Structure 1
Amino acid sequence: MVEKFVSFNSEYLLKGTLTVPEESKEKFPGLLIISGSGQGDRDGNVKGIEINVYKELAEFFTSLGFVTLRYDKRGTHESEGDYHETGVWDLIDDATAAVRFLKEQPQVDPNNIVILGHSEGAIIAPAVHKKEEVNALILLAGFFGPSKEMLSVQNTMAQKEVEEAKGFKGFLFRILKVSDKLKKNQEEMLSKVMSSDEPVIKYKGTKLNAKWMRESQEFNGLEQLNGVNIPVLAVTGDKDVQVPPTDVKNIEGVVKGDAEWHIVPNMNHLLRKYEQNHTILGLMKEYKTLVGQPTDPDLIRILKNWVTKHIQK
């Protein structure tokens, strides 16, 4: 396969990587990867945690005969713009521009395009399809419901972990009333964000992308899936603590096309095997232990079987 560094225009110039099968063929199906939230790069890496989630997925799908595109989000790494001023609908516009760019590539069949979204990418992928139609959606580790409920679930889990902490750490948490302070800070922060109309605000000295937070509170990924009449695959791991694993079942009865879902045993949010119990408070430390680990082979098997069934090459 051959990697090409490319750029395309949305509101700002965005930079990405196009991966093309080396074999000679007139046209290939195209696959766009939409990444999760945060400032990770197009390969799926953040400082100190280089797991290459999206690079591996791109190479896997290219090995199956796809031209794949992954890109740095607005205001991150090599792409232009301001990350902190970027809202959810800005991300949707950028991904829509990426689909159009992929369709224009001479090696790509514009009538055979798949979007693969991971985490937040899975949540917004159906909205991208509604702006620029594609032929299928693959939604990995997504949340299918009102996004404000996802934030509530994560906050509740964090508070519960603080309250149930053992040993000296638990003793300190209780003495310092960490759970109460955590809840109060979250409520104050959200109130300040929702009462503002500025794209960026500061809360206790920290810069917040308020526009993104407000739009996330109003966004409902399940509503965007309603009536989608193309094949949809949704997969989450049962060790995922960032989204409820059983949420993938919500696509049934909502998607009009062929809807298939899987909950993969011992797979976490970064699509790796993790047989221990994850914690919200210890995620970053735990994720660092996954560097060098391959994409979950059970997920790879599911993806390959689904592509064989639904995508003509």
Structure 2
Amino acid sequence: MKLVQNSTLLIAIFLGSFISFAQNFEGSWTGAVQGLPLVFEISQSDGVYTAKMQSPKQSKTFLPVSEITVDGDQINMSLASFKIKYTGKIEGEKINGTFSQGTFSTPMLLEKKAYVEEKLNRPQEPKPPFPYQVEEVVFKNPKAGEINLAGTLTLPNNIKNPPVAILISGSGPQDRNEELLGHKPFLVIAHHLTQNGVAVLRYDDRGVAQSEGTQKGATSADFATDVEAAISYLKSRNDVDQNKIGLIGHSEGGLIAPIVIANKENDVAFFISLAGPGVRGDKVLLPQLRKSAELAGANPADLDFEMKMMQQLFDKIVASEKLTTAEMNEELKKNLNSIAEEAPTNLKAKYTDSFANTLSSQFSNEWMRYFLRYDPKNNLSKVTCPVLAINGSLDYQVIPEINLDGMKSAFAKAKNKDVTIKELPGLNHLFQNATTGSAIEYETIEETFDPAALELMSSWINQRF
């Protein structure tokens, strides 16, 4: 009898141990980083876990988790393309862990519950029925393995063969509305322009929403071929004016458009740059990093050192075009370890091997290296079609006094006679009326796009076409 009792006890202990380690990670887990919600959808089949992540205020698209491991009550997930990692420990219906992206790291609690979307007030977002034609379209990019790119074409009513604009999004994976933090600026722009007689084609970036392909390994030059495919598609239609196809690029989109124009000068009738770069990428990014840190209240002495460090890294990247990604990664690690020895005492603890590995990986990828080396003046100086270039005075991402001056000199070199360059007072990088221009304000501002800037765009186009 005693033996039976002991056996039962052993079995109970074994089962209890098994149950404690067979944790249920499956389901929807919701958390937040600095107020920005994140959702992880975790599935399991035959003992193999898969997951996907969404930043619902930035995009409706779920991004596949590239690696996930579960060991008892521990879980590790990573999205290699975005340098994102999450490590945590499950405790009932919660996972306590740490979220990191690049050199940034912060605690993040995940709770087992579905994300409930907070209804944000976006008064400019148009609602159907629309006073114009709306057509869902698909076109192929033969230079990217025949991938299908999906978009929306809006056509004015009662206008035969109107001029047409292609909207080109900024950096990172963007859907056709360039949706960010509940704002849909491309939807607002398309709605305004189409009501004012200009057809608009906007599309999901490659690898986003309904478009095929991948962002991995792609550079601005690759994204330019997607725009070329959009032009070819419009030229195949008989309901738009094939001689009045224009490009409207926001941020990186304003860098991509001149690449396309240089290759297809006779196919582009006009160009509108919305906070597009006018100087080489490193000269865009370094002031952006400094301004962002200043807005966040960084210590001036620490900031000076870190900007000196970034300048050295950028100089190395710009001068090392022929290095492979792996070679560039190793060179940056060496540079960072050397620079770390000169760091102020209060910063030395930050410059660990892990910090060097993360930062070198982030800045050695194909997109970043291309961006830092690329000088848009070379192609801007070939743009002879009508140009409208606008920036907000509070834009900290593409600082107007640096970039508009760069554009001005490039267009002068092109001897372009129809160039309008304006710095719009009080607007941020998204062309919202802002207080400081900080990214923290993007979500809290209800306005999506300044109405006066919209009117400037439509009237400028209609005066010419």
| Range class of TM-score, shorter chain | 0.7 to 0.9
Partner of 2:111: none
Amino acid at match of 1:36: G
| Equivalent in 152, 155, 160 of residue 20 of structure 1 | 155
Is 1:90 paired with 2:222?
Answer: yes
| Equivalent in 437, 446, 458 of residue 278 of structure 1 | 437
1:127–1:224 Cα contact (<8 Å) kept? yes
Cα pair distance change 1:219/1:241, threshold 3 Å = same
Cα pair distance change 1:127/1:302, threshold 3 Å = same
Cα pair distance change 1:203/1:104, threshold 3 Å = farther
| Equivalent in 233, 253, 256 of residue 412 of structure 2 | 253
Which residues of 2 match residues 204-243 of structure 1 at below 5 A? 204=358, 208=362, 210-243=365-398
Query: Structure 2: 5+ residue runs without aligned partners?
Result: 1-131, 330-355
Partner of 1:104: 236
1:19–1:69 Cα contact (<8 Å) kept? yes
Per the TM alignment, residue 182 of structure 1 is displaced from its structure 2 partner at its CA by: 7.8
Is 1:124 paired with 2:283?
Answer: no
Amino acid at match of 2:225: D
- Rounded to whole Å, the distance in 2 between the matches of 1:105 and 1:121 is 24
Is 1:197 paired with 2:352?
Answer: no
Amino acid at match of 1:14: L
**More strand by percentage:** 2
Q: Which one is further off, 192-201 or 28-37?
A: 192-201
CA deviation digits over 1:143-190, x for unaligned, max 9? 11112210121123245456x54xxxx6xx98xx68756865786699
User: TM-score scaled by structure 2?
Assistant: 0.57
1:228–1:257 Cα contact (<8 Å) kept? no
Partner of 2:172: 38
Is 1:263 paired with 2:418?
Answer: no
Per the TM alignment, residue 24 of structure 1 is displaced from its structure 2 partner at its CA by: 3.5
Larger Rg, first or second structure (1 or 2): 2
Q: Classify the secondary structure of the residue corresponding to 1:81.
A: coil
Amino acid at match of 1:136: F
Per the TM alignment, residue 102 of structure 1 is displaced from its structure 2 partner at its CA by: 1.7
Q: Classify the secondary structure of the residue corresponding to 1:97.
A: helix
Partner of 1:144: 278
Cα pair distance change 1:43/1:216, threshold 3 Å = same
| Equivalent in 177, 191, 196 of residue 59 of structure 1 | 191
- Rounded to whole Å, the distance in 1 between the matches of 2:455 and 2:191 is 15
2:427–2:437 Cα contact (<8 Å) kept? no
- Rounded to whole Å, the distance in 1 between the matches of 2:279 and 2:230 is 25
2:286–2:310 Cα contact (<8 Å) kept? no
Cα pair distance change 1:70/1:206, threshold 3 Å = farther
Q: Which one is further off, 77-86 or 88-97?
A: 77-86
- Rounded to whole Å, the distance in 1 between the matches of 2:384 and 2:413 is 10
Query: Structure 1: 5+ residue runs without aligned partners?
Result: none
CA deviation digits over 1:191-229, x for unaligned, max 9? 689685349989529974811111112212222111322
Is 1:301 paired with 2:449?
Answer: no
Amino acid at match of 2:207: G
1:145–1:223 Cα contact (<8 Å) kept? no
| Equivalent in 102, 110, 113 of residue 245 of structure 2 | 113
User: TM-score scaled by structure 1?
Assistant: 0.83
- Rounded to whole Å, the distance in 1 between the matches of 2:386 and 2:233 is 22
- Rounded to whole Å, the distance in 2 between the matches of 1:83 and 1:234 is 27
1:74–1:86 Cα contact (<8 Å) kept? no
Tell me which of the two structures has the higher relative contact order, counting C-alpha pairs closer than 8 angstroms and 6 or more residues apart. 1
